Structure 1
Amino acid sequence: MSDATILVADDHPLFRDALKIAVIRASPSATVLEAGSVAEAADQVRGADRLDLILLDLRMPDAEGFSGLALLHAERPGTPIIVISALDAADAAVRARRYGAAGFLSKTADLNTIQAVVSEALSGRSALTALGAQTEEEAEIDDMAARIATLTPAQIKVLLGVLAGRLNKQIAHDLNISEATVKAHMTAVFRKLGVQNRTQAVIAARALGLDTAQLDV
């Protein structure tokens, strides 16, 4: 694709440079944006008039599990995202698809593989294989992930605060908003997710790939 705008988000400069090389090979006239954290990536996403593709490292310093992917998908739901991870490819790819990922790249992939995945995503083809049969638990998590994908960026941030055990006033301070706004977001989040108790909150955490061991249920 000519004149594409592509965001490369990875906290390791050397790997980010390798991704940029592969991106330029796939789309020589592309404008390449960079980010070293999810917060920087979100700023780039909000500031871009056009954004054709996002390459996102899951293990960013300000993200846990698939929270960064969910947040960027909420910011730009129409933009395909290629997930980059050192996690097991099959498991991570399946879980990433829940939040609209169009492709998956292992950290061990060579430049030719990265270029091919980028080219597929830019052409509108998904580089993720179809999901197989699911267990009841997987289906439940999939349903929750689909609900989370309907949240706005602000609502996802509030949800992450709730799952981290933060109080309303702490979430308000973190996000620089009022407690009343936090409560309004929480009401909307609980309505969209159908969450009414801590057990259901754990399901939401699992759908985001968060560590549930610290949640008091």
Structure 2
Amino acid sequence: MTSYDIDVSIVCPNSLVKEGLSRILSEDCFKVRNSFQDAGPFLSEAPGHVFVRDGEIIVFEGSVADVERHISALRERLPNCRLVLLADSFNFDTMTSVFRAGADGYLVKDIECRSLVESLKLIACGEKVLPSQLVKHLPPSNGMASTDLNDGADLLATLSERELGTLRCLIMGYPNKVIAYRLDISEATVKVHVKAILRKLGVQNRTQAAIRAVNSGLGATATLSSIYSANDIVLDEDEDYLPDQRQIPA
């Protein structure tokens, strides 16, 4: 690795915050290529518009106006970049909106500097990063007794081989198009299998089905980050997300 391995651009209307963030990132393995007050330069069609490299991270500071709209536009225009919102405070609805718009990360400013850097490194590797505050919004758990595992295994036994194959793909976070390709079936057939899986497992969406399957012993090597991948977040059937994160001074 060289001293500068990860390209990053910063969108922040506050010059002081922008300078501080640039300094934090430049002291690690990031090269701050651009910094702007808004996303306009990235969306401009004018000659000499900003060039964004594949895999480049664009960090939006929380005070940027219409950030969801900008993220959606950049996701369409720059599909290979990584888009991150560094929010002033945690807001579940905003987090949901930016991920549906195409964000790769949602961080909150009370994250520590080192944790911010490590989170952005994960995002640069293709991971999705969400704030630890999200844990407070998770439903209560009754624990996982052995009888629950047995019940889950019995439920899995009701699935056909093709449904099990589809469920394994859901665990990995694959969208319908990828599942259809891997199983050599049509997307319409995938939708039929997914509906059957949800009905047989008694769950409401794909994420719940994947978690139920892992808790029942199917795909035991799967990680939460794969279950809560972006492929699931952007689908209408899903409303849940999770991962890992930490904290940065405002």
**Structure label with greater radius of gyration:** 2
TM normalised by structure 1 equals 0.50
TM normalised by structure 2 equals 0.44
